[in-house]
Structure 1
Amino acid sequence: MNHPYLRALSIALITFLLGSGIDYLTGMETALGLDTLFKIRGTRPPPVEVVVVAMDETSETRLGVGQDLTRWRGFHAKLIQELQQQGAELIVFDLQFIAPHPDHDPAFAAAMQKAGNVLVTDCVQKLRRGVEDFYGRDECSESNQQPFVQKEGTQQLSEQLIAMRKIIPTPALAQFVLDHAPFYLTNDAENSIIRESWVFLDALAETPTLPVVTWLYYLQHNGTLQGITQLNTPFSVGLTERRRQCLSGAPLSSAIPQKEAILQAINNIICLEDSRYLDFYGPPQTLRIESYSDVYDGKVNNLQGKVVFVGKANRKFSPGKTDYFQTPFTDTRSGRMAGVEIMATQFANLLEDRFVTSPYPQALWYLLFGLWVGLLLTQFAGLPGIVASLLLSGVYAGLAIWYFKRSGAWLPVAVPLLIQLPVAWLMSLLDSRRDLLRERKRILAFVQQIFPQWIHFVPTSPGQWSPEKSTEARSFERDVNGLCLATDIEGYTTVAAQHTPHEMWELLNEYYQVLSHPVTMHDGIIADVTGDAMMAVWIDLPVATQRLAACLAALEMELAVERFNEATRVGRLPTRIGLHEGDMTLGKLDAGEGSHYRAIGDTVVTASRIQGVNKYLGTKILASAPFAAHLNNIVSRSVGLFRLVGREEPLALLEIVGMGPDVGKAKDKLCKQFAGGLAAFQQGQWDEAVIRFQILLSTQGEDGPSRFYLNLALAYQKNPPLEWEGIVTLEGK
């Protein structure tokens, strides 16, 4: 799979499938990702309308009720009266009044009837395996041990059966409350952290939960529902009918335009999922909590217009297991959160119209994240790709944290950062390894076809291929017309003197890997590596194709060496490159008992001489003039006629500047100005040449060829050559 976009897509699909599978099996994103977002975000202010009245340890001692919840009923009547005097908007009891208490129920019922704003909780009981397992709050389970269904006769149900039912308050109280509805939290030891809560219990005949019912009454009392068709029955009954209507596909009632927003929020609660992820405000006691006994004694003020939730909530020590739950914020220091606090949290979320939600399905985020990382890893190979993907992941994590803090929007972080990102890195490294093996295999195939004797000099990878130990006799040499690329390290002797031989071996080993990659990527062949010089050839390709491939390889080598020099700590290895085209011989040279295979001929020597001219001109890539002819994608400039060492015939040289789209206007202007100065120089117009090169250097900045010709023109002003042909003769390599 060579195309980078196909590789990116494969990385995206594999990491998506793996991440989704792990999340499905382990719940990793919820258990780790969501909880981490809560902890990073920290606490946030809850709505001031919500108050919890805690039946805490202080109240137990003050009222003398102990741990027995049934003994509190005698105090509820006065508590309601006190809250009514304070102007509380609604009073919500997170308690089950199932068993009758004749001594206290009349006063309690009278207080509720007079207040007209009291809601209480239905008990939800779950039965499993006949009569063997009952789940629910203590009073509900202990007082109602009859099986939900039974077989004919006396045989008990022993097969696996799960069912739910609700148990309403005793009739002596139920007839005087504003409304009643269930509130159910799973207290499962295997999954003890509460992260979401039901808004409707669809398994219980589409029954709305108490926070939803309370929310609707609150909106009704403050006039928000004015102009919206309201229910003639209690909300706990009417909402069930509305949900059944919605689930069946029938349209809900409309509202006046000014109420569209609140109607939409109500319809979303009624018609969408039956549960919501809670946006917790913080650890236990983040909501405003007042002690039951303080409210009872009239010591608490500022309850006007508040929605008061009354329930069991210890505040001084870690509570026991019953009706206390783990949340993303709880720990050993904070203790668990009371059920009444979770009920109040859900009501507060409804009031703010803010739950924890994902803007899009999490699977889509997995796919998009995998695609982004895949594109980076395929566009930037190796370490740059890993760094780029790591930076992208940091930006994504920051966005997820900001988005969650701002609106409760939940973008997955655990699966993308802990599963998808490392797997994508591994796949990228494996792809790079496969590319390297594929390149080596291609080189080996070429050598086997053209020069089987070179087979022992080609690096192989164990298990990928086996070189033939015996090959049929073939010619030991071959005359070809091709292109030659020669490189040399500037200042190599100085660098070598500063390091041990082993350090230089390690440095050159890495250097030549960097240098050879562009050659092989553009169908070239490494013909020879000697000390600080490398020779590469292009043969058996169309001329234009060979020229373009060699130019591209040279430009990429220049960029790769710059990156290598920036990254290495051992020593910099500036590299000069020369390109020449012509006849050469590829063959074997016998030296004693050994043999060496390489490219031989004047073309090879000339390419080496051309790269040496770079040190005079301050350039990086030079080529003979015919080399870069008719290559529209390559920008070059003529740098003059040179008589190289060992050659009588002058040679026109070009500097390979870059690819057309990458060369800016400034560079293009420099090339044009340089051409004018060079023309004056070659015509022997020394004064004109000096002026042109001085203007160029002052306006365009330092330029090696311009500096070289300026110095020559200044010298020729004082001592003109006797016979001038426009040719520069170099005395050294």
Structure 2
Amino acid sequence: MLKNFGRCLIIAFSITVSASIIYFSSQLESGFGLDLLFQSRGVRTPPNNIVIIAMDEHSQTRLGLWQDLTRWRGYHAMLIQQLKRQGAALIIFDLQFLEEHPGQDDIFADAVKSSGNVLVTLCTQKQNSALDECSENNKPSNLSNYGIQQEASGFKGINYPVKLLSDAILDAAPFFLPYDAKNPTIHEAWLFVDALDYTPTLPVTAWAHYLRNKALYPYSFPQHGQLSQWLAMQRKNCLNDENSNNNDTLNDLLTVICSSETVYLDFYGPPKTIRMESYSDVYDGKINDLSGKVIFIGKANRKYLPSQKDYFQMPFSDTYTGNMAGVEIMATEFANLLEKRFVISPLPPIVLLFFYSFFICLILTNLANIYGIAASLAGSAVYLLAAVWLFSAKAYWLPVAIPILYQLPMTWLATLLWSRQDLLSERKRIMAFARRVFPRWAPVNPVSSGLLFEIENPTTDFQRDIGGICLATDIEGYTTVAAQHTAHEMWQLLSSYYQVLGRPVSTHKGIITDVAGDSMIAIWMDSLSIKQKLEACLAALEMAQAVEDFNTSPIPLPTRIGLHSGDMTLGRIDAGEASHYRAIGDTVNTASRIQGVNKYLGTQILASACIVNGLSNIIYRPVGKFLLIGKNEPLELVEIIGVASESIKQRLTAINDSFAVALYTFQQGHWQEAAELFQIQLNSYGQDGPARFYLNLALNYKLNPPVNWRGVVALEAK
């Protein structure tokens, strides 16, 4: 566990470095990832005390005003009077009143002054802009066409409204949006513009007035007058005086004043999610429930607005809802301030990225193969659901795009490569160990590059627990053959025989661990991979063919082969002054028992069913469940027939299918029917050892039915 812990620290650190580069150099997370969280969360209910009055197409047609915004001022005066009668808390214009309009300014200014709660937008002109952004007719500012860095360093200054209006308004402040040409979707908004002498933006200024009107911080604000200059002074003091943060009387107000210049907005939904009423409907007195509301007034003419300059992409924009008007974004920022809720990261993004990779790595290193992949996908799904829940509940922003699209596959790859390196290193150690433990069979052991090691102290006790596949062989009728020949003749015969028998083992990367008279044990060490199972099966098939060729000699040695997989121990066993090296354990014993079942079934190669799981290029057939001598649990066995090819498949499909039906009938305890099916099998396809075995057994069970039959054949001898 500690090994996996240290490994995952290294993997997580390495992947986090590259993920951090992607995070800070691209818009993958702040664009796609954040938009995904908004879309997953859906619409959120905005505060009910905010209303947008839209200067829309309906109002333009109803009032006959069209594009010259200076002609609206007389109507603004009447609208303000209407809102004053209803008791609106604040009236905020997302408009810049820069040019005089004789005949309307007096009426407009009187209404503004009488209301006493009107705020307007100031215009800012950039140093490097080729356009006069504060021109007549209140043309929209072009500041949004530039990046944040340019905005923060290239301002000429602020243009104020006409004097009559400047003297009448409650306050004024600029409002514009950060913009990145690479990612035009709006996610952020300015709170303050430090390059303009720490000037607060209009939503912050309006929020401060709202708090003062509600007497939420009675000892914090000046009692009268504008708050924009006071906010700028407080921010300047906060940023320049480290002790200013100790002023607890400001509380949430201080948090905003001393925060960063920009914040990530928590949008409530697509355009018009915040309550929006048509300008003309309010003007005509059709809307009468605006008491105590904060009113935002601005352009929202989707049909006639030239070039759609005051419309912006946002996370909920699509072809159906369209983009969001600037006045809606202003109202969204104000609403976020009221709720004390912006999109924030609960921890530094790098920390979150690191812990994600570390968590996925721990899963992969503790669960093997497909289980690790499945668990990592499940863990990522849980992380994604948690990210969406935290975003919905608290506006906490956890990275989702980079973890899922980059870190997850990279962690898969890193753990796979490291595991592969572990496998190779372990194989080198095992092979070096095997060469020390089994020096007699070094000539037939597989030789791979990098596996030759110096033999250490030969007197050292060696042992190692491994997992792998064991192949056991036995010569049929060996006692009879040995009785008919001299010891020297048997030595010559067996020397030739085991050279033939050992060559397929060597070819297919196995190791011969023991030869004793008529039997041989070979093993394949490593994880029980599909490739390793295939190597063992191919070795058994080639071994059978080699023995068949060998048996053309005057003295044939028919050979039975058994295969099983599981845990084993390689080690040296000391007996007096002699030492013997063996692979020992239940796996070896079971392989030998399986080999012995061949003499009952008349087969040559039998294996436990686990050997062929996942192998598509080996032809085999199940031959039933057996309770072997000395075992408590039954074992399902299969006969290894050959390497898969179309010709062999076509020839054996019908035979194997009919045998499978007969075997199933036998296992269900239908002895007479099973006997008939096995007899048909023999009549149709000739001699077949397993069919003959089950025919005889079915006839016997018909006369003497076994007690508590479970479909398992109990063998009474090896």
Letter in 2 for 1:29: E
Match of 1:236 among 228, 234, 238: 228
Give the corresponding residue for 2:397. 410
Matches within 5 A, 1:35-54: 35-54=35-54
SS in 1 for 2:244: coil
1:172 maps onto 2:172 in alignment: no
Give the corresponding residue for 2:382. 395
Q: Is the 8 A contact 2:23 2:29 kept in 1?
A: yes
Going from structure 1 to structure 2, the CA distance change for 1:373 and 1:199 (only over 3 Å counts) comes to same
Give the corresponding residue for 2:244. 251
Give the corresponding residue for 1:324. 311
Going from structure 1 to structure 2, the CA distance change for 1:436 and 1:319 (only over 3 Å counts) comes to farther
Distance 1:484 1:414 in 2: 43
Give the corresponding residue for 2:633. 618
Give the corresponding residue for 1:69. 69
Going from structure 1 to structure 2, the CA distance change for 1:232 and 1:77 (only over 3 Å counts) comes to closer
Distance 1:184 1:563 in 2: 72
Going from structure 1 to structure 2, the CA distance change for 1:191 and 1:300 (only over 3 Å counts) comes to same
Give the corresponding residue for 2:290. 303
1:515, CA displacement in angstroms?
A: 7.9
Going from structure 1 to structure 2, the CA distance change for 1:220 and 1:541 (only over 3 Å counts) comes to farther
Q: Is the 8 A contact 2:211 2:217 kept in 1?
A: yes
Q: Is the 8 A contact 1:126 1:135 kept in 2?
A: no
Distance 1:198 1:513 in 2: 74
Q: Is the 8 A contact 2:469 2:528 kept in 1?
A: no
Deviations 1:270-315 (A, max 9, x none): 0111111100011111111111111111111110100100100125
Matches within 5 A, 1:589-604: none
Q: Is the 8 A contact 2:464 2:571 kept in 1?
A: yes
Letter in 2 for 1:177: I
Distance 2:574 2:225 in 1: 88
Distance 2:359 2:573 in 1: 37
Distance 1:164 1:564 in 2: 79
Matches within 5 A, 1:69-108: 69-108=69-108
SS in 2 for 1:532: strand
What TM-score do you get using the length of structure 1 for normalisation? 0.63
Q: Is the 8 A contact 1:126 1:134 kept in 2?
A: no
Letter in 1 for 2:717: G
Deviations 1:629-657 (A, max 9, x none): xxxxxxxxxxxxxxxxxxxxxxxxxxxxx
Going from structure 1 to structure 2, the CA distance change for 1:455 and 1:363 (only over 3 Å counts) comes to farther
Going from structure 1 to structure 2, the CA distance change for 1:60 and 1:143 (only over 3 Å counts) comes to closer
Q: Is the 8 A contact 2:178 2:188 kept in 1?
A: no
Give the corresponding residue for 1:711. none
Distance 2:431 2:411 in 1: 30
SS in 1 for 2:189: strand
1:532 maps onto 2:563 in alignment: yes
Distance 1:309 1:60 in 2: 18
Give the corresponding residue for 2:345. 358
Going from structure 1 to structure 2, the CA distance change for 1:534 and 1:332 (only over 3 Å counts) comes to closer
Q: Is the 8 A contact 1:183 1:210 kept in 2?
A: yes
Match of 1:285 among 268, 272, 277: 272
1:465, CA displacement in angstroms?
A: 3.6
Deviations 1:687-726 (A, max 9, x none): xxxxxxxxxxxxxxxxxxxxxxxxxxx9xxxxxxxxxxxx
SS in 1 for 2:43: coil
Q: Is the 8 A contact 2:15 2:411 kept in 1?
A: yes
SS in 2 for 1:251: helix
Give the corresponding residue for 1:163. 155
1:454 maps onto 2:418 in alignment: no
Distance 2:434 2:464 in 1: 18
Distance 2:89 2:162 in 1: 24
Identity, % of aligned positions: 41
Distance 1:565 1:408 in 2: 53
Distance 1:113 1:289 in 2: 25
Distance 1:223 1:310 in 2: 25
Give the corresponding residue for 2:717. 732
What TM-score do you get using the length of structure 2 for normalisation? 0.64
1:428, CA displacement in angstroms?
A: 1.2
> How many residues in Structure 1 have an aligned counterpart in Structure 2?
527
Q: Is the 8 A contact 2:629 2:716 kept in 1?
A: no
Distance 2:157 2:278 in 1: 32
Going from structure 1 to structure 2, the CA distance change for 1:481 and 1:46 (only over 3 Å counts) comes to closer
1:374, CA displacement in angstroms?
A: 1.4
Match of 2:415 among 406, 410, 428: 428
Distance 1:171 1:514 in 2: 97
Once structures 1 and 2 are overlaid, which stretch shifts more, 225-234 or 83-92?
A: 225-234
Going from structure 1 to structure 2, the CA distance change for 1:253 and 1:109 (only over 3 Å counts) comes to farther
Going from structure 1 to structure 2, the CA distance change for 1:94 and 1:537 (only over 3 Å counts) comes to closer
1:194, CA displacement in angstroms?
A: 0.8
1:133 maps onto 2:121 in alignment: no
Deviations 1:122-164 (A, max 9, x none): 1122222xxx63484665997999xxxxxxxxxxxxxx98335
Going from structure 1 to structure 2, the CA distance change for 1:484 and 1:440 (only over 3 Å counts) comes to closer
Distance 1:484 1:379 in 2: 19
Letter in 2 for 1:426: L
Matches within 5 A, 1:201-216: 201-216=193-208
Gaps of 5+ in 1: 146-159, 472-477, 491-507, 521-525, 577-610, 621-713, 715-729
Going from structure 1 to structure 2, the CA distance change for 1:551 and 1:63 (only over 3 Å counts) comes to farther
1:72, CA displacement in angstroms?
A: 1.5
SS in 1 for 2:172: strand
Going from structure 1 to structure 2, the CA distance change for 1:390 and 1:118 (only over 3 Å counts) comes to same
Letter in 2 for 1:23: Y
Going from structure 1 to structure 2, the CA distance change for 1:109 and 1:563 (only over 3 Å counts) comes to farther
1:190, CA displacement in angstroms?
A: 3.5
Letter in 1 for 2:442: W
Deviations 1:333-362 (A, max 9, x none): 212111100000000111111111111111
Distance 2:303 2:523 in 1: 67
1:233, CA displacement in angstroms?
A: 5.0
Going from structure 1 to structure 2, the CA distance change for 1:281 and 1:574 (only over 3 Å counts) comes to farther
Letter in 2 for 1:732: A
Going from structure 1 to structure 2, the CA distance change for 1:181 and 1:229 (only over 3 Å counts) comes to closer
Deviations 1:205-251 (A, max 9, x none): 11111111111111222232235454665210000111111112242
Give the corresponding residue for 2:212. 220
Matches within 5 A, 1:552-591: none
Match of 1:376 among 363, 367, 381: 363
Going from structure 1 to structure 2, the CA distance change for 1:73 and 1:190 (only over 3 Å counts) comes to farther
Distance 2:310 2:394 in 1: 29
Matches within 5 A, 1:642-657: none
Distance 1:49 1:65 in 2: 29
Give the corresponding residue for 2:255. 268
Distance 2:100 2:246 in 1: 40
Q: Is the 8 A contact 1:228 1:254 kept in 2?
A: no
Give the corresponding residue for 1:118. 118
Distance 2:463 2:442 in 1: 19
Going from structure 1 to structure 2, the CA distance change for 1:618 and 1:133 (only over 3 Å counts) comes to same
Once structures 1 and 2 are overlaid, which stretch shifts more, 82-91 or 383-392?
A: 383-392
Letter in 1 for 2:233: E
Matches within 5 A, 1:602-641: 613-615=629-631, 617-618=632-633
Q: Is the 8 A contact 1:193 1:326 kept in 2?
A: yes
Give the corresponding residue for 1:57. 57
Gaps of 5+ in 2: 143-151, 473-507, 511-520, 530-535, 541-560, 592-606, 636-706, 708-714
SS in 2 for 1:124: strand
Q: Is the 8 A contact 1:325 1:338 kept in 2?
A: yes
Q: Is the 8 A contact 1:489 1:574 kept in 2?
A: no
